[in-house]
Amino acid sequence: MKKADLFFNVIRLPVDFVMLFLAGLAAYLLRTTLLAGVRPVLFQFNLPLFSYLSLVSVVALLFIATYAISGLYSMKVRMSRTAEFSKILVASSAAILAVIIFIFLRQTLFNSRFLVLGAWVIAIIFVSLGRLLVRYLQYVAVSRYDFGIQRVLMIGDDMLADQMKQNISSAPGAGYRIIAHWDRPNIESLAGLKDAIDEVLLVSPNYSGNHIVELVDFCHENHIVFKFVPNLYQTLTKHFDVDLISSVPVIELKRTPLDGWGKVFKRVVDIIGALIGLIIFSPVFLIVAIAIKLNTPGPVLARLKRVSKNKEFVLYKFRSMIAYDSDGGAESLKASLAAFNERSDGPLFKIKNDPRITKVGRVIRKYRIDELAQFINILKGDMSLVGPRPHQPDEVSRYEKHHKKVLAIKAGATGLAQVSGSSDLPFDQEVETDSFYIENWSLGMDIKIIFKTIFKMLNDRSAA
């Protein structure tokens, strides 16, 4: 999904709410001012403006729910203005019918038919105007300022490719920019272009299967969107989206169902969870910081280089190892301890009784307190609450091709592999477990993993 589409689809929800609220306010003011001379106002005594607006806020949420059910917030469907207006009309009518039934059953709210029917008509008008405004703002942002555009490498040597290139170039508001157009796939050349593109669009199907699979793997490993004009290759994955580019249906291959509103909800859960964690554990942070400072010289937080989605970031942990010594610190001793590595089945490094760990470090590791500082990374957006383990750059450099599947999504403070015993799992099995999570992600799975993590922190001391 284009970044611009994701942003403006999310924006539509609060804009709809504001427009619904303004529609209710407009109906009230219209009835109590302009129409008051035609028909006396009888409801103001039992429904003053403040109470009415509170009621409007609740009704607006009902409208939002009907809009969601009707598909007005779907990330996968690109609607025409006519189809969008039709859905607004039908969904608004369903919502106002529910309000009328509620008023009839309660018979206690108010007796103004204009407030109900007038607000219904005004709501349809206001919401439609609000969505037209969002469409216009999106067009301006994309066409004039390149906001959220998809930089595309097009591959194809037929007339359809030429026609699509011409149509895309003549419609900048659609959100695509052709960076290069190749007749044939070329992985070596693509490696040099990977930082300049967001998407590969394969238009022509007349290439060998091996070339296509190699191209798909390269895109997945480097987090480049891969789309193609439909043919037999949709069997490469079970996760795909259908889009229209220049009126031609194309399919986007996906490694994970984590996209659209799922990605938005996951980020919201991350922010709320990180804020709650930082507030609840703030007294623990203070105690741990003092203990670390009194135990050994050095910083309270360890700043470790990690990789998530092929990008390096600084991971925060409460320091549990020595910070400085004559050899340069804990990381510099890693090579001399390689012979004692208990994870010899893969590129990971782990020693049960690591001599680099301090006295305080053993305690905070035993109760996994050292990892609580990762709430900072989660709040910053470097990590998620749930996801594959964050990987060390030197480990990633030794990963085989199938190991890199775990880099498909943002790393997590906890994950399916962690709650399944990642410290004891063979590396390949850890990769399989994380790959299963990536390919079958759901918000419900995230919640289960979070609860399992809490249970494990309270009962499991294997990290000591």
pLDDT of 344 reads 54
Core vs surface per residue 81-112: b (16+ CB within 10 A) or e: eeebbebbeebbebbbeebeeebeeeeebbeb
- Residue 178, exposed/middle/buried by CB under 10 A (0-12, 13-18, 19+)? middle
Percent of the chain at pLDDT above 90? 44
pLDDT of 322 reads 83
The pLDDT confidence band at residue 326, using thresholds 50, 70 and 90, is: very low
Q: Which residue has the higher pLDDT, 124 or 347?
A: 124
Domains in the chain (CATH in brackets) are: 3-145 (no CATH), 150-254 (3.40.50.720), 260-459 (no CATH)
Q: Which residue has the higher pLDDT, 377 or 397?
A: 377
pLDDT of 234 reads 47
Q: Which residue has the higher pLDDT, 141 or 1?
A: 141
Task: Say which range, 1-10, 80-89, 322-331, has the weakest mean pLDDT.
Answer: 322-331
pLDDT of 461 reads 55
The pLDDT confidence band at residue 108, using thresholds 50, 70 and 90, is: low
**Span 23-45, mean pLDDT?**
72
Residue 293 pLDDT exceeds 90: yes
> What's the distance, Cα to Cα, between the start and end of the chain in Å?
43
pLDDT of 33 reads 79
Residue 109 pLDDT exceeds 60: no
pLDDT of 327 reads 43
Give the pLDDT confidence of 339-361 residue by residue, as tens digits.
455 555 555 556 666 777 899 99
The answer to whether 109 and 130 are in contact (CB under 8 A) is no
Residues pairing with 311 in the sheet: 308
**Span 244-256, mean pLDDT?**
76
> Reduced to 3 states, what is the DSSP secondary structure of residue 287?
helix
Task: Say which range, 99-103, 291-295, 325-329, 378-382, has the weakest mean pLDDT.
Answer: 325-329
Residue 142 pLDDT exceeds 80: yes
pLDDT of 348 reads 59
Q: Which residue has the higher pLDDT, 152 or 230?
A: 152
φ, ψ of residue 315 in degrees (nearest 5)? -90, 130
Give the pLDDT confidence of 207-218 residue by residue, as tens digits.
777 788 889 888
**Span 244-251, mean pLDDT?**
75
Residues 155, 157, 161, CA angle at the centre, nearest 5°? Answer: 70
Residue 165 pLDDT exceeds 80: yes
Residue 321 pLDDT exceeds 80: yes
Half-sphere exposure of 210 (CA within 13 A, CB side): 0
The answer to whether 72 and 127 are in contact (CB under 8 A) is no
Percent of the chain at pLDDT above 70? 83
- For the chain, give the mean pLDDT: 84
pLDDT of 462 reads 55
Q: Which residue has the higher pLDDT, 46 or 421?
A: 421
Q: Of the segments 18-27, 45-54, 328-337, 342-351, which one has the largest average pLDDT value? A: 18-27
User: Tell me, what amino acid is at 414?
Assistant: T
**Span 398-402, mean pLDDT?**
82
pLDDT of 339 reads 46
Give the pLDDT confidence of 411-422 residue by residue, as tens digits.
999 999 988 865
* Cα–Cα distance, 80 to 86 (Å, whole number): 10
pLDDT of 46 reads 57
The pLDDT confidence band at residue 314, using thresholds 50, 70 and 90, is: very high
Q: Which residue has the higher pLDDT, 50 or 273?
A: 273
**Span 183-200, mean pLDDT?**
90
Cα 400 to Cα 307, 329, 406, 412, 428, distances in angstroms: 15, 29, 11, 21, 10
pLDDT of 383 reads 95
> Reduced to 3 states, what is the DSSP secondary structure of residue 423?
coil
Contacts of 360 (CB under 8 A, 6+ apart): 288, 291, 292, 295, 296, 320
- Residue 259, exposed/middle/buried by CB under 10 A (0-12, 13-18, 19+)? middle
